[in-house]
Chains A and B, each alone.
Chain A
Amino acid sequence: MALSDIINPKSGQAFMMCNEAIVRAGIESDVKVVSFYPGAPTSEILDTFGAAQAHFDYHFSIATNEKVALETVAGASMAGFRTLTSMKSVGLNVAADAFFSLGYTGTKGGMVVVVADDPHCHSSQSEEDGRFFGPGAYIPMMEPADPSEARRMVMHAFEVSERHRVPVLVRTTTRVNHQSGIVRLGPVKRKAFKKAKWSEVGETYFTVGEIARRNKLKALERAAALQNEFEDSAFNVVTKGKGDFGIITSGVGYCYAVDAGRALKIKPHILKLGTTYPLPEKKITAFLKPLKRVAVVEELSPYLEHAVKRIIHDQGLAVAVMGKGTGHFSEALEYNVSIVAQALAAMTGADNPLEYETILKRANDLKSVLPDRIPIFCAGCPHRATLRAIQQAIKGRNVIYNNDIGCYSMAFFPPLNFSDSMLCMGASLGLSAGMAPVLEDSVMAMVGDSTFFHAALPGLVNAVYQNLNITIFILDNEVTAMTGQQVHMGTPEGRGMPPGKKRIMIEEVCRAIGVEHLKVVDAYDVKGNVALIKAALDFQGPAVIVFRRSCALHGDRIKRRSGVPIIPNAVDKAACQKPHACIREFYCPAITFDADDRAARIQPETCDGCGVCAQICRFGAIHPVSAKGPGKEKKK
C-alpha cells in the first residue's frame, strides 16, 4: 500500500492490507469522525487514518482508551455523523459498558466498530472471542474474510447502521486484519464537513428504568428486522457442491475450508456467513435441509456450531453436526489449511495429500540448531535501564512484582525473568491494592505512560485514597511504544504531539491526586536511580517514581529526521576483562563478543548510543566512539 492509494479520489485497484482497506472504506463512505486507542492487530487502521488525515475533513483523535474512543464516535453518530472506531478484542472489554448501552439507546449517523480477535494470542493476553458482544448487546455483527470483502462490508455496515439506527460491529481476526491483497476501490465522493444543530437532530439517547425497558423491546424488534434483512444479504454466500456433506463457516475459516476442500478433492456445499448476528436462520435452515452431515469451521468458541445445533433442533432436521463437539476441531489456537484438511479428511474419509506431522517433525529436527529469537527490548530502550536499576535496588528484599501491558511486559522474558503477574491494562495497580494488605513483601506495580492514562489512573487514585503501601513505577517513554509509537496524552510538543493539543504531565496528575512520595528521574541514570528506588520501597504509603526517557525507536527516528547524529558506543578491547555483564545481564541486541578474543563488541549499526551498558561495565571499557582513546575498534 502507498498513502497515495488511500487518498486516491478515483476508483481503481490497490495492493492493500485489510486494515488499510477498512480505512479506504471509511473514506469512501464519507466518515466524519474517527477515534481510537491503538492495539494489535488493528493499529494500522489508526495509523492509516492518521497518515491520511491531512487530505480529508474527518476528525481524527487518539483517545485515552477504547471506551472513550467508542463514546467519542458514538457521540458524533448521535449528532448525525458517520463514524468509525476499531479496537482489539480486549479493547472492547474496556469499551463494553458503553457498547452494551448503545444497543439500547441506538445511534443516528452510520457507526462502525471494528473489533479484532487474536486466535493464537499472537499479541494479546487471551484468545477472547468477540463474537459474543454482538448478540449480548443486540448489536448487528458482520465478519469479512479478506481485504476486498472488508472494504465492501464496512461500506455496507454504514448503511445498515443508518437504516437500523444502531452501531454495526465488524469482527475480524489477526489473519484477516494482517492479510493483504488486491482491493477494488470505488470513487471518493465526500460532502464538505459542516457542523449540525442539536435542535435539528431531534433525538434523545437516554436509557434507565422504564425508558430502558422500552429500549430493550425496541432492540428486540430491531434484531428481528435485522435478521429479516440479513436473510437476503449478499454477504451470506452458498457455494453448491456435491453429495450430502456441507460446511458452514465465516471469516478466514472460509478461506481455509475452501483450500482444504480443494486439497482433498472433495466438493462440499459451503455456506459462508458474513452476517453473524443476527444469523440468517432461514438461509441456514434451507442450506441444512438437503444435508446429512455438516461441518462447522470456525476458530475459537463454537459460536456458529451451537447456533447450527439449535436451528437443527428447532427445525426438526436430521443433520449431524461435526466440529468442536465431535472433537474434530479445537477451541484453542488458530487454524490453517493443514488443520482444516485433516479434520475434513477425518469427517469424509477423503485421502489427505497434505502432509503435516512428518513435515513438522523433520522441520523441528532441522531447526534444533537455531537459537530462539524472542522479542527483546530494542537497543537504547529505556525500560532495559529502568529494570536494571529496579533489580539492583531489590536485592535482599522480598518483593512482589505486578507487571502491566506494554513493551515492559517483556521483563518476564530472559535475562530478567521478572514478573509475578500481568493481567490486563492497568491491573498492576488494582492487583497491588489486593496484595499490599495481605502480603509481607514489598508490593511493586509497574505501568507504562500510555497504560497509565488508559486504565491505571483509577487504580492510582484508589491506592492514594486507601493509603496503600505500594511502590509504583511509571515508565514514561513519550509514546504508546508497543503498538507502533503512537502519541498519547503525555507526548511532549516537538515529539509528536499534534498541534492544538494539551500535554498532560504524569507527575502533575500524581501530585494533584495526593501522591506524597514522588520522583521524576531519567531512566538512563541506572546508578542514581537505585538509591531512589530503595527509598521509595522504604516509604510508608504509595510512592511513585516516573522514569522518563524517549522510546529508542521513536527518539532515533526523530534524531534521524532532524539530522542529530546517533553516536554509537564501542568497547575498548584492552580494558574489557570479559565477565560479559553487558551481555549476560543486559541482552542488548547491539552487543555481542568476538570468537577470537572473547572481548565484547558493540555493533555500531545497531547501537543507539544510550550508554547504559557503560554503567554496567565495571571496568570502564565502554565509551562513545567519538571519545578519545578507545572506541577506534575496527569494523568486522
Chain B
Amino acid sequence: MSGKKGFDMVLAGVGGQGIVMLSNALGNACLAAGQKVITGELHGLSQRSGSVYIHMRIGGDVLSPLIPYGQADAIVSLEGMEALRYIEYLKENGVIIMNSRLIHPPVEVARLSREKRVDFVALDSILEKMKVVTSGIAAIDALSLAHKAGEPLAENAVFIGALSCLASFPLSAEQLKKGLLRVLPEQAAEKNMRAFDLGQQAAYETLCGQLECRMP
C-alpha cells in the first residue's frame, strides 16, 4: 500500500475475557505516545462465551477500522483457538501471541460426548495449522503467569507485556505500561505490572530466536 504503513493487529478472545479492556489499555498507550490509532470492534451482545475480536490499527495512513485480509502484523489472542479463527487477517510470517490455554465450547464438548470420543481440539493441532502462515508464534500460558504475578485476572497484562518485546511494535514497554495503568484500578496496578513483566519475558524467550525482539 502507498502511504505510511503502521502496525495492524487483531485482538481476539472469548466474550468475558476482557478484550475491551485490552484494547482500551493499548489505545490509551497510543494516545499518550502520540500515535494515531483506530479500532473496529465486534462485541455487540452481552452473553459470554461467544467469539469476539477487535481490529486495532496503530500509526499508518489508513481510515478503515477493519484490517484487509492478509495485512495484520500480529494476532493477539486471549484464547488459543480464537487466534486461528481470524488467521485470514494475518500477513505471511506475521506474529501470533496467544494463550496456550484452550476454552472448549459446549458445541465441541457435546459433539465429542455424543460420538463417544475424547479427542478435544489440541493446542498442537492449532499450532500446526498456524505454521502454514507463520513461524512467529508465542503460545503463552497466561493464566499461570497471571497466577504467578498474584492476580489470576491479569492475563491481559501478560499479553500487553508480550507485545512489548516485539521490535516492530511501535510503542515501548514504558509507554504500554502507562496505557495499562490508565485503565486499571490503583490497587491492581502492582500485580498487573508484574504480570506484564512475566509476559514480556515469556514472549522474549519464545520469539527472540525467530524475529527481532527487544530485551526485557
Residues on A facing B (Cβ under 8 Å): 1-2, 13-15, 17, 40-41, 122-123, 145-146, 174-175, 178-182, 252, 254-256, 258-259, 262-263, 265, 336-338, 341, 353-356, 359-360, 362-364, 366-367, 369-379, 407, 410, 414-415, 481-485, 553, 580, 583-584, 587-589, 591-593, 595-596, 598
Please tell me if the beta carbons of B106 and A587 are within 8 angstroms of each other in the complex. Answer: yes
Please tell me if the beta carbons of B38 and A589 are within 8 angstroms of each other in the complex. Answer: no
In the complex the two chains form, what is the Cα distance from A262 to B3 in whole Å? 7
**Pick from B1, B15, B113, B129: contact of A263, CB under 8 Å:** B1
**Pick from B23, B62, B107: contact of A371, CB under 8 Å:** B107
Chain A residue numbers with a CB within 8 Å of B46 are 481-485, 553
**Pick from A338, A371, A415, A481: contact of B69, CB under 8 Å:** A338
Tell whether B172 is near chain A: CB-to-CB under 8 Å: no
Please tell me if the beta carbons of A175 and B111 are within 8 angstroms of each other in the complex. Answer: no
Please tell me if the beta carbons of B63 and A259 are within 8 angstroms of each other in the complex. Answer: yes
Chain A residue numbers with a CB within 8 Å of B85 are 367, 370, 373
Interface stretch (choices B47-55, B160-168, B189-197, B200-208): B47-55
Closest chain-A Cβ to B170's Cβ sits at a distance in Å of: 14
In the complex the two chains form, what is the Cα distance from A481 to B37 in whole Å? 31
Tell whether B28 is near chain A: CB-to-CB under 8 Å: yes
In the complex the two chains form, what is the Cα distance from A591 to B47 in whole Å? 17
Q: A336-B64, A366-B132 are in contact. Are A482 and B45 (CB under 8 A)?
A: yes
Please tell me if the beta carbons of A595 and B110 are within 8 angstroms of each other in the complex. Answer: no
Please tell me if the beta carbons of B110 and A255 are within 8 angstroms of each other in the complex. Answer: no
Chain B residue numbers with a CB within 8 Å of A379 are 48
Please tell me if the beta carbons of B24 and A370 are within 8 angstroms of each other in the complex. Answer: no
Please tell me if the beta carbons of A175 and B66 are within 8 angstroms of each other in the complex. Answer: yes
Q: Residue of A at shortest CB range from B27?
A: A15
Chain B residue numbers with a CB within 8 Å of A595 are 118-120
In the complex the two chains form, what is the Cα distance from A453 to B51 in whole Å? 31
Please tell me if the beta carbons of B50 and A373 are within 8 angstroms of each other in the complex. Answer: yes
Q: A175-B40, A367-B87, A369-B126 are in contact. Are A584 and B114 (CB under 8 A)?
A: yes
Tell whether B215 is near chain A: CB-to-CB under 8 Å: no
Tell whether B174 is near chain A: CB-to-CB under 8 Å: no
Tell whether B121 is near chain A: CB-to-CB under 8 Å: yes
Of residues 121 through 163 on chain B, the ones whose CB sits less than 8 Å from some CB of chain A are 121, 125-126, 129-130, 132-133
**Pick from A182, A265, A367: contact of B36, CB under 8 Å:** A182
Please tell me if the beta carbons of A263 and B107 are within 8 angstroms of each other in the complex. Answer: no
Please tell me if the beta carbons of B65 and A355 are within 8 angstroms of each other in the complex. Answer: no
In the complex the two chains form, what is the Cα distance from A404 to B96 in whole Å? 40
Q: A15-B30, A367-B87, A370-B84 are in contact. Are A375 and B47 (CB under 8 A)?
A: yes
Q: A254-B63, A584-B110 are in contact. Are A373 and B51 (CB under 8 A)?
A: yes
Closest chain-B Cβ to A353's Cβ sits at a distance in Å of: 8
Please tell me if the beta carbons of B43 and A178 are within 8 angstroms of each other in the complex. Answer: yes
In the complex the two chains form, what is the Cα distance from A373 to B133 in whole Å? 23
Please tell me if the beta carbons of B62 and A259 are within 8 angstroms of each other in the complex. Answer: yes
Q: A178-B41, A262-B2, A262-B61 are in contact. Are A367 and B69 (CB under 8 A)?
A: no
In the complex the two chains form, what is the Cα distance from A580 to B81 in whole Å? 24
Chain A residue numbers with a CB within 8 Å of B38 are 146, 179-181
Please tell me if the beta carbons of A371 and B87 are within 8 angstroms of each other in the complex. Answer: no
In addition to A182-B30, A375-B15, 5 A-B residue pairs with Cβ atoms within 8 Å of each other are: A181-B39, A259-B68, A336-B66, A363-B69, A379-B48
Q: Residue of A at shortest CB range from B36?
A: A182
**Pick from A256, A341, A366, A588: contact of B106, CB under 8 Å:** A588
CB<8 Å pairs between A and B, sample of 26? A15-B31, A175-B40, A179-B38, A181-B37, A182-B27, A254-B63, A265-B2, A336-B68, A341-B68, A354-B68, A354-B69, A359-B69, A360-B88, A363-B88, A366-B133, A367-B129, A369-B121, A370-B121, A373-B14, A374-B50, A375-B49, A407-B47, A414-B110, A588-B106, A593-B112, A595-B120
Please tell me if the beta carbons of A179 and B61 are within 8 angstroms of each other in the complex. Answer: no
Q: Residue of B at shortest CB range from A16?
A: B27
Please tell me if the beta carbons of A13 and B65 are within 8 angstroms of each other in the complex. Answer: no
In the complex the two chains form, what is the Cα distance from A360 to B90 in whole Å? 11
Please tell me if the beta carbons of B50 and A175 are within 8 angstroms of each other in the complex. Answer: no
Tell whether B42 is near chain A: CB-to-CB under 8 Å: yes
Chain B residue numbers with a CB within 8 Å of A369 are 84, 121, 125-126, 129
Closest chain-A Cβ to B150's Cβ sits at a distance in Å of: 16
Closest chain-B Cβ to A191's Cβ sits at a distance in Å of: 30
Please tell me if the beta carbons of A145 and B30 are within 8 angstroms of each other in the complex. Answer: no
**Pick from B31, B66, B106, B129: contact of A13, CB under 8 Å:** B31
**Pick from A122, A354, A371, A485: contact of B104, CB under 8 Å:** A371
Tell whether B105 is near chain A: CB-to-CB under 8 Å: yes
Q: Residue of B at shortest CB range from A252?
A: B65
Please tell me if the beta carbons of B24 and A377 are within 8 angstroms of each other in the complex. Answer: no
Closest chain-B Cβ to A90's Cβ sits at a distance in Å of: 14
Tell whether B214 is near chain A: CB-to-CB under 8 Å: no
Q: A146-B38, A359-B88, A367-B87 are in contact. Are A410 and B65 (CB under 8 A)?
A: no
In the complex the two chains form, what is the Cα distance from A596 to B119 in whole Å? 10
Please tell me if the beta carbons of A373 and B65 are within 8 angstroms of each other in the complex. Answer: no
In the complex the two chains form, what is the Cα distance from A377 to B24 in whole Å? 27
Interface centre among B39, B63, B104 (most CB of A within 10 A): B63
**Pick from A179, A182, A259, A592: contact of B109, CB under 8 Å:** A592
